[in-house]
């Protein structure tokens, strides 16, 4: 390795270590094993260009972090939405841990500034490449889990990810009943109740009318070919009324 490159490399390492120190201060998490933290932000392109020094890329940590994220997000959703079906929970979780969402989290934390990249990857915009940033976020979660355990991961997600769920950032993927439940839980104003008001028609062509109410006050009425469809339409009407009321 040429001497001038060695000096340049040494200066970069000093700068990156300073960046990582500041990063830990900002998120109020301090790694016992900082090698894990560095590995989480080490792209394979960096390893390929620094073969004379022992480096390991973040791909294995990414694998672990993906599983840890799924577990912690699943646990949060399971507790937050006690009436949500397995299918709806799966759909909502998928929206939270998908690449675009992970990129948003990574960008808010400015992960792009910390990534260790090879020169080629750097020159082609790797620092802002969505797939790379999503992978780094998962790798960081994996490193944090190995260094400090699941409780610290949950504490971190409570600051970074869970508030967005509470704010309804992913409600677009929820059905109307789940969206309405989210609104009511957010405002903490009571308990929703669904009731079938009417059934009519022959067995092969039934029609149901359902009502959703909050603390005895009617919010919406829905008509459908099944109880589920009628309840969904009642919830849809209730959401429209609530939004109209809030807009006034």
247: which 2 tokens?
């807009």
| Alpha carbon distance 19, 203 (integer Å) | 68
Q: Choose, from 57, 121, 138, 182, the residue flagged as catalytic.
A: 138
97: which 2 tokens?
């841990």
| Alpha carbon distance 126, 13 (integer Å) | 19
| Alpha carbon distance 172, 150 (integer Å) | 29
Which alpha helices (H) appear in the chain, and where do they start and end? 3-27, 34-40, 44-49, 59-80, 86-96, 99-108, 119-123, 130-148, 150-160, 162-166, 176-187, 227-247
How many Å is the maximal CA-CA distance in the chain?
88
- Read off the DSSP letter of residue 206: -
Q: Choose, from 66, 135, 231, 237, the residue flagged as catalytic.
A: 66
Cα dihedral sign, 165-166-172-177 = positive
Count the neighbouring beta carbons within 10 Å of the beta carbon of residue 73. 20
Q: Is 66 a catalytic residue?
A: yes
Cβ 166 vs Cβ 55: under 8 Å: no
Catalytic center residues: 66, 138
């Amino acid at each position: 390795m040429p001497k001038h490159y060695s000096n340049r490399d040494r200066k970069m390492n000093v700068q990156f270590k300073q960046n990582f120190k500041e990063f830990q201060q900002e998120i109020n998490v301090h790694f016992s094993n900082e090698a894990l933290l560095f590995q989480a932000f080490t792209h394979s392109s960096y390893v390929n260009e620094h073969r004379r020094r022992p480096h390991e890329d973040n791909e294995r940590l990414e694998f672990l972090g993906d599983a840890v994220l799924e577990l912690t997000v699943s646990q949060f959703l399971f507790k937050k939405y006690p009436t949500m079906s397995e299918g709806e929970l799966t759909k909502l979780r998928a929206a939270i841990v998908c690449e675009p969402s992970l990129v948003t989290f990574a960008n808010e934390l400015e992960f792009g500034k910390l990534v260790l990249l090879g020169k080629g990857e750097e020159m082609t915009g790797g620092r802002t490449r969505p797939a790379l940033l999503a992978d780094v976020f998962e790798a960081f979660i994996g490193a944090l889990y190995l260094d400090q355990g699941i409780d610290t991961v949950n504490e971190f997600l409570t600051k970074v990810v869970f508030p967005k769920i509470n704010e309804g950032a992913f409600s677009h993927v929820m059905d109307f009943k789940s969206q309405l439940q989210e609104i009511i839980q957010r405002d903490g104003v009571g308990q929703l109740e669904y009731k079938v008001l009417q059934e009519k028609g022959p067995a092969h062509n039934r029609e149901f009318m359902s009502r959703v109410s909050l603390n005895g006050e009617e919010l919406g009425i829905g008509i459908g070919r099944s109880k589920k469809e009628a309840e969904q339409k009642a919830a849809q009407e209730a959401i429209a009324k609530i939004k109209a009321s809030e807009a006034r």
